[in-house]
């Protein structure tokens, strides 16, 4: 009897101890996050929240478009493409939350359907959910019909995964933006978001390399829309260090939100439902994919109220256009560019007396003709295209598929 009583008390004691252990077993980062953003020091936060009206199909990002320049010096917009991919996207989310800042996630439709709970988690933490096509195909290589399907099915799929309409913000995969699809985006009242500074995180697995590359771009341009990929190891491991450095250097984060939600088309909604049902079996076979992420969300009162983005088209007297972002000029190109700007107009050049024309001898003429004929025979096929600068080269579709689905 005494033994039974002791056992009963022991069970109660163990229950109390296990409850206490659960209370104090929270990770230290989460405990730090319980402190309000207003009480933290050295964090980025959000300086401005801009409400974007996309009814006219505006284009953003000076790497490709010079239409709109809405950022002040020292301001950045954080954007992440190609996800979600749970292990790496979670690291990115935790880094953003630790700095009380917000970003825009341009999601691939088929990635969103594989892990809809991750899509909802990104939205729950206050970030903007946008689209990046259905399967990340380079739209410049597709027919108009297939390109429209890539866009529309991506919007329907991400909206289905989120459980509500997404932001009408779109970024072309590989920044390949055919005119027909630009017109389609405008017709569908979607904003077209390019970039200013490319992290090129797909070229390296080193977080430090990625951080240094972004900081060099910001030092050169002073502001811009930053491009990362939340499926890349370098971004997952280096984004926290980058945010620390941005805060230390005094950069400000601007968060973009939509004025109106995106609309979907029933035809593609039905396709997305069928794809979701087919992929549900794949997701159910991976139990980790259905686990929720417990992380307290920062107090909404800390962030500034959204202000309408006033778009002023660039005029004749609004200052010089910025340089093409992300395009790294070689020393040879810089010297050529400098020599071009230093060319003396023809009117200012001193006139030189014309030398009398000398008639070539018959022997010289025959030798020149023979040389031209031999040169033409040696050339086979069309001339090789000029090699592009490294900064213009992007990942191929096979590279993206291998990276996204290798885990």
> For the segment 358-397, what is each residue's pLDDT rounded down to a tens digit?
556 666 667 776 666 565 555 555 555 444 444 434 455 5
Residue 54 scores a pLDDT above 70: yes
Give the pLDDT of residue 162. 97
User: pLDDT band at 280, cuts 50/70/90?
Assistant: confident
pTM, two decimals, is 0.69
Give the pLDDT of residue 401. 62
Contacts of residue 338, defined as CB under 8 A and 6 or more positions apart, other chains included, come to: none
Average pLDDT over every residue of 9-21: 43
Greater model confidence, 209 or 14 = 209
- At 243 the three-state DSSP class reads helix
In terms of average pLDDT, the best of 243-252, 306-315, 319-328 is 243-252
Give the pLDDT of residue 39. 75
Q: What domains appear along the chain, each with residue ranges and CATH number? A: 43-313 (3.20.20.370)
Give the pLDDT of residue 398. 61
> For the segment 71-83, what is each residue's pLDDT rounded down to a tens digit?
999 999 999 999 9
> For the segment 100-132, what is each residue's pLDDT rounded down to a tens digit?
999 999 999 999 999 999 999 999 999 999 999
In terms of average pLDDT, the best of 8-22, 56-70, 315-329, 340-354 is 56-70
Give the pLDDT of residue 297. 52
Q: Which residue has the tokens 């050295």?
A: 42
Question: Per mean pLDDT, which range of 76-85, 192-201, 273-282, 303-312 is the poorest?
Answer: 303-312
DSSP codes, 298-329: PPGGGSPPEEEPPP----TTS-PPPPPTT-PP
DSSP codes, 13-80: HHHHHHHHHHHH-S-HHHHHHTS-GGG-SS----SEEEEE--TT--EE-TTT--S---PPTTEEEEEE
Q: Which residue has the tokens 């600068």?
A: 389
In terms of average pLDDT, the best of 22-26, 41-45, 55-59 is 55-59
What is the biggest distance separating any 2 CA atoms in the chain, rounded to whole angstroms? 129
CA–CA gap between residue 195 and residue 106 (Å, rounded)? 12
């Amino acid at each position: 009897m005494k033994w039974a009583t002791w056992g009963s008390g022991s069970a109660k004691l163990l229950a109390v101890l296990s409850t206490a252990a659960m209370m104090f077993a929270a990770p230290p980062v989460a405990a730090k996050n319980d402190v309000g953003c207003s009480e933290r020091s050295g964090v980025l936060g959000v300086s401005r929240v801009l409400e974007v009206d996309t009814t006219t199909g505006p284009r953003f990002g000076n790497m490709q478009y010079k239409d709109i320049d809405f950022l002040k010096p020292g301001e950045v917009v954080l954007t992440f493409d190609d996800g979600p991919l749970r292990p790496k996207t979670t690291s990115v989310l935790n880094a953003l939350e630790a700095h009380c800042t917000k970003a825009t996630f341009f999601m691939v439709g088929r990635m969103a359907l594989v892990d809809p709970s991750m899509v909802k988690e990104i939205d729950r933490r206050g970030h903007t959910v946008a689209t990046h096509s259905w399967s990340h195909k380079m739209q410049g290589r597709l027919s108009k019909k297939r390109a429209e399907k890539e866009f529309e099915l991506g919007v329907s799929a991400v909206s289905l995964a989120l459980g509500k309409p997404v932001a009408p913000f779109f970024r072309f995969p590989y920044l390949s933006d055919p005119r027909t699809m630009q017109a389609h985006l405008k017709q569908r009242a979607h904003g077209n978001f390019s970039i200013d500074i490319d992290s090129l995180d797909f070229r390296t697995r080193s977080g430090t390399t990625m951080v240094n590359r972004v900081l060099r771009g910001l030092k050169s341009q002073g502001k811009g829309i930053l491009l990362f990929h939340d499926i890349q190891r370098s971004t997952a491991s280096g984004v926290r260090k980058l945010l620390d450095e941005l805060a230390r250097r005094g950069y400000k984060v601007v968060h973009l939100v939509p004025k109106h939600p995106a609309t979907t088309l029933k035809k593609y909604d039905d396709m997305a439902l069928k794809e979701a049902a087919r992929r549900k079996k794949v997701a159910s076979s991976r139990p980790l994919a259905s686990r929720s992420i417990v992380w307290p969300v920062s107090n909404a009162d800390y962030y500034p109220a959204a202000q309408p983005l006033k778009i002023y088209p660039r005029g004749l007297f609004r200052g010089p256009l910025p340089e093409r972002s992300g395009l790294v000029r070689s020393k040879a190109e810089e010297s050529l560019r400098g020599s071009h700007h230093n060319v003396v107009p023809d009117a200012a050049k001193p006139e030189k007396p014309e030398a009398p024309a000398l008639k070539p001898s018959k022997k010289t003429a025959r030798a020149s003709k023979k040389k031209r004929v031999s040169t033409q025979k040696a050339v086979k096929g069309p001339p090789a295209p000029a090699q592009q600068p490294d900064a213009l080269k992007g990942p191929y579709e096979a590279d993206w598929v291998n990276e996204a689905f290798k885990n």
